[in-house]
Amino acid sequence: MALVLLLEDDPYLQFTFTEALRDAGHEVLVASDNDEAMSELRRSTPDVLVLDLMINDGFSTDVANYAVYSAPQAEVIFMTGSGLFPKGELFGMSRNARLVLRKPVKMDELTTMVAHVADGVHRLPAAV
């Protein structure tokens, strides 16, 4: 399936999302903060990034923006429990953002959206 980088700072949600994605056949890299996520991006090239928007005291948009250069084919799915950016402003802030899931996230919704986005990544033509 896909190589997924999951950035989630809540240990319970991190475990739950990781297990759901692995059960769906994805390989999952896990990070608890922006620094860990960027380190993972330096070591690997994920197909999909699943990023908790509000991570610790900041935003994960920095990770998404770094991925534009380190993993340019990667698509980003943001997850948020906040009411920020209700009109899609997030898509203007992060050029690789494809979806925003509102928490609480249903596991079947998460796995379906990751598979959908990953399928698009795998069908991109090779760079010349």
Tens-digit pLDDT profile for residues 17-27: 999 999 999 99
55-61: which pairs have CB atoms within 8 A and are 24 or more residues apart?
55/7, 55/8, 55/9, 56/9, 58/34, 60/7, 60/34, 61/90, 61/93, 61/94
Give me the pLDDT at residue 100, please. 86
- pTM of the predicted model over 0.85: yes
Structure tokens that stand for 120 in this block:
């698009």
Q: Is pLDDT of 126 > 50?
A: no
Q: pLDDT: is 52 or 122 the higher one?
A: 52
How many Å apart are CA 55 and CA 126, to the nearest integer? 33
Q: Is pLDDT of 122 > 60?
A: no
Across the range 104-124, mean pLDDT stands at 85
Give me the pLDDT at residue 103, please. 87
Give the pLDDT band of residue 50 (cuts 50, 70, 90): very high
Across the range 92-96, mean pLDDT stands at 73
How many Å apart are CA 101 and CA 33, to the nearest integer? 19
